[in-house]
Amino acid sequence: MKTIRTQSLSTAAAHLKQASSILQDGGLVAFPTETVYGLGADASNDHAVAKIYHAKGRPQFNPLIVHVADVQTARRFVQWSDLADQLAKAFWPGPLTLVLPRKKEARLSDLLSAGLPTIAIRVPNHPVAKALLEKFGGAVAAPSANPSGQISPTSAAHVQSGLEGRIDAIVDGGLCTVGLESTIIRLDNTAVLLRPGGVAAEDIENEIGRPVHIQTTVEKITAPGQLQSHYAPR
């Protein structure tokens, strides 16, 4: 694998502007969220998204989570529903990922969804992630910032140990507060738990007033985190 110089960036406004510029130019930037550090790329750029899979050694049949700054941006890319609106109002920004049908007109890389008609999307609850996403202005694909199959990183040093020389920059925002990946829920006519995480299924059930179905067998990967789980301690 070709080695590149990995820049260490702070959370200062000038450095976040630099990180946004790297994303706009098709580069890879690791940044903190409340769950774990994400490895970000422009979600509309096929070449940039392909770099994520290459840097992580991640199989391309394993879809990625799209991160956006707010609900309004999310609605540009996925078919919204009353149930999605209810969960977003209750848990966004926060560690909940919703899997929803992709809008046909959404300008997103097909590599994100591994050929599926759905997109996994969330609004992170972290000031650095929010500031970066707002500066970028669009959708950022961001799985955990670690080599595939390893423990998900909760610090910049952890990211550096696994991905230095493979990515363009790391934004050091300190330790992640949750330290556990986001809960993933697929929404169609029901709510289906695809991956447990930072929001408990019971809390989701209490909010929507109906059971959350749990997918117990995985015949085909339909969401991130189903290939294997790699939770990190705080």
Tokens of 185: 């829920």
Model confidence over 140-179: pLDDT tens digits? 999 999 999 999 999 999 999 999 999 999 999 999 999 9
Between 195 and 226, whose confidence is greater?
Answer: 195
Which pLDDT band holds residue 229 (cuts at 50, 70, 90)? very low
Percent of the chain with pLDDT over 90: 87
Rounded to whole angstroms, the Cα distance separating 36 from 3 reads 24
Residue 21 has pLDDT above 60, yes or no: yes
Give mean pLDDT, residues 22-48: 98
Q: What pLDDT score does 215 carry?
A: 82
Superfamily of domain 7-214: DHBP synthase (3.90.870.10)
* Residue 107: HSE in the Cβ half-sphere, 13 Å Cα cutoff: 5
| pLDDT at site 189 | 85
Phi, psi of 202 (to 5 degrees): -65, -40
Domain locations along the chain: 7-214
**Looking at the whole model, is its pTM more than 0.85?**
yes
Q: pLDDT of 73-91, one tens digit each?
A: 999 999 999 999 999 999 9
Residue with tokens 């986001």: 182
Write the pLDDT tens digit of every residue in 92-140.
Answer: 999 999 999 999 999 999 999 988 999 999 999 999 999 999 999 999 9
- pLDDT confidence of 224, banded at 50, 70, 90? confident
